[in-house]
Copies of this chain bind each other. A is one copy, B any other.
Amino acid sequence: MAVRIASDGGSRTGDRLTVGVAARLSQYLRVLTQARKMGKDRISSQEISEYTNINATQIRRDLSAFGKFGKRGVGYNIDSLIAEIRKILRTQGQHNIALFGAGRLGQAIASSTIFADHGFNIAGAFDNDPAKVGEPIGGTTISGYDELRELIREKNIIVAVLAVPPDAAQQVADEVVDAGVKIIFNYTEALLDVPHDVAVHTTSPAVELLYALYFYLT
């Protein structure tokens, strides 16, 4: 467990990060990972700011609460900053996740590097179409829903990604929750009812557009 620190400017309460800080650190990680992929070695708070729309002072403030990771006049070394943030977020290892739905969206997800880039390994994929069961998808094979419980337990999966039709989403959510999943990433527009100890994250591109449009229109 982490060391309890009394005064840190609000980034931690007790030994837990605040929601805001954890969200921002994750954003920095996205930019750093991609910048490294593009061959960059170091980056300034100003550059991170341009890609995240988070104020540069806020970024330096967030980071300096945990140590002096930068070099004045130079910026931050990307490799070491990634390592530091991973340490802070305690997400250094690999995590197995399960994908539900092997349609166009599911296939697009499985063949992209968006999850793998951040240490998430698609360890199981499920579809209710018998014709798809046994077919390869990404680095794994499509399974039927009858193998769900066993695979989730065996691979120690706590994250489920839902890429099923919206009218099937609640049923799949019920099944994965029952099998022990604690975090659901919902690509459908369905509103999911889950127990309080399960977290649901729903992507809603249209919502983000609505709000971007407001600032364009005004």
List, in ascending order, chain B residues with CB within 8 A of A111's CB. 104
| A-B contact list, 7 entries, CB within 8 Å | A26-B214, A90-B214, A91-B210, A103-B108, A105-B112, A120-B209, A158-B213
A31: chain B residues within 8 A (beta carbon): 191
A35:B191 contact, CB within 8 angstroms:
yes
Are B201 and A26 in contact, with the CB atoms below 8 A?
Answer: no
- Out of B15, B90, B161, which one reaches A205, CB within 8 Å? B161
The 3 closest A-B pairs by CB, nearest first: A118-B206, A105-B108, A104-B108
Say yes or no for A189: interface residue by CB 8 A criterion. yes
Residues on B with C-beta less than 8 A from A107 are: 104
The answer, among B51, B183, B205, B208, for a CB contact under 8 Å with A212, is: B183
- Given the interface pairs A104-B105, A114-B189, A189-B113, the reply to whether A120 lies near B218 with Cβ below 8 Å is no
Question: Is A29 interfacial (CB-CB < 8 Å)?
Answer: yes
Taken residue by residue from 15 to 37, chain A's Cβ proximity to chain B (1 for < 8 Å, 0 otherwise) reads as 11101001101110111001100
How far is B190's CA from A19's CA once the two chains are assembled, in angstroms? 25
Q: Smallest Cβ distance from A36 to chain B, in angstroms?
A: 11
Verify if A168 is at the interface (C-beta below 8 Å from B): no
Assuming the contacts A207-B30, A209-B118, asked whether A214 and B89 have C-beta atoms less than 8 A apart, the reply is yes
18 new A-B contacts at CB < 8 Å, known A90-B218, A185-B209: A15-B218, A17-B218, A22-B211, A30-B202, A30-B206, A34-B189, A89-B214, A104-B111, A105-B105, A105-B112, A112-B189, A113-B166, A114-B204, A159-B209, A159-B213, A183-B212, A201-B205, A201-B212
Contacts of A135 in B (CB 8 A): none
Write out the residue numbers on chain B whose beta carbons fall within 8 Å of the beta carbon of A212.
159, 183, 185, 199, 201
